[in-house]
Amino acid sequence: MPSTYIDLNSDLGEQFGIYQLGRDDAILELVTSANIACGFHAGDPSVMRSTVKKALQQGAAIGAHPGLPDLAGFGRRNMAVSPQEVYDMVLYQIGALAAFVQSEGGKLQHVKPHGALYNMAAANKKLAAAIAEATARFDSSLVLYGLAGSALIEAGQQFGLRTASEAFADRTYQEDGSLTPRHLPDALIHQPEQAAAQVVRMIKEGKVRTVQGSDWTLQADTICIHGDGDQALAFSRHIREALITSGIELRAIGRTDSI
């Protein structure tokens, strides 16, 4: 059944060295969960530590955001990787971020793959199983985030993990429930009003209108808002306000307190 509360997550800690990206401090004031880059597609040890600390100060639930080893492409380019390689790189990245979380007195809550790895695992059952197994072997209490209706959600359930079906505020959908590839001109939603209306409908009705004009039924446990666009902060504020105005509570997965 459609929810009356929702987790609002954002991909953060995606700076690297002197290169800055996103508005992490401001975004952390708006979301309930933070997916923190683990060094492969973005992030470095210092960025990981500081982002974890800021997330804990804001009371956001923290998740590892493992990606493909592709700094130049920001982890958004497909790579020919085997399930064993995916298992190894995901386990490596979860462990790295968990060390920073533990050292700051927190506890890792979830795992959400990034970019191309996320999309590959949404369709490829073997890669999805590799991610789910790495997560479960590290800590079976972790929540696995994945695209609603995807192979990754199915794999997580098969490995006994709690899963969170994710929907996107600023992305359009294809008629098979997949996200429109970023290289296509209609992949992103640029108007905050349109994005907010899409999010509210996904939560309350469990449906999203595809670019082909049909409705796709989906479960939305968590909504992703991207923090790296030019208008990301204004966009995020508008969506948050629309959710609250619509009577939808903001609550991290597994928590009973709303913000």
* Cα distance between the two ends of the chain: 22
Q: Is the dihedral of CA 123, 255, 226, 68 positive or negative?
A: negative
**Residue 246 near residue 215 (C-beta atoms within 8 A):** no
| Burial of 180: CB neighbours in 10 Å, binned 0-12, 13-18, 19+ | middle
Q: What is the reported pLDDT for 35?
A: 98
Q: Which residues contact 176 (CB under 8 A, 6 or more apart)?
A: 216
Cα–Cα distance, 215 to 174 (Å, whole number): 10
Average pLDDT of the chain is 93
Q: What is the reported pLDDT for 259?
A: 61
**Residue 163 near residue 156 (C-beta atoms within 8 A):** yes
Please give the CATH architecture assigned to the domain spanning 5-250. Answer: Alpha-Beta Barrel (3.20)
Q: What is the reported pLDDT for 258?
A: 63
Task: Encode 119-158: b = buried (16+ Cβ within 10 Å), e = exposed.
Answer: bbbbebeebbbbbbbbbbebeeebbbbbbbbbbbbbbbee
123-135 pLDDT per residue, tens: 999 999 999 999 9
Using the predicted structure, report yes or no on whether residue 113 has a pLDDT greater than 90.
yes
Give the start-to-end residue ranges of the domains of the chain: 5-250
Using the predicted structure, report yes or no on whether residue 92 has a pLDDT greater than 80.
yes
208-258 pLDDT per residue, tens: 999 999 999 999 999 998 866 667 788 889 999 999 999 999 999 988 666
195-208 pLDDT per residue, tens: 999 999 999 999 99
37-65 pLDDT per residue, tens: 999 999 999 999 999 999 999 999 999 99
Q: Is the dihedral of CA 1, 9, 118, 179 positive or negative?
A: positive
Using the predicted structure, report yes or no on whether residue 115 has a pLDDT greater than 90.
yes
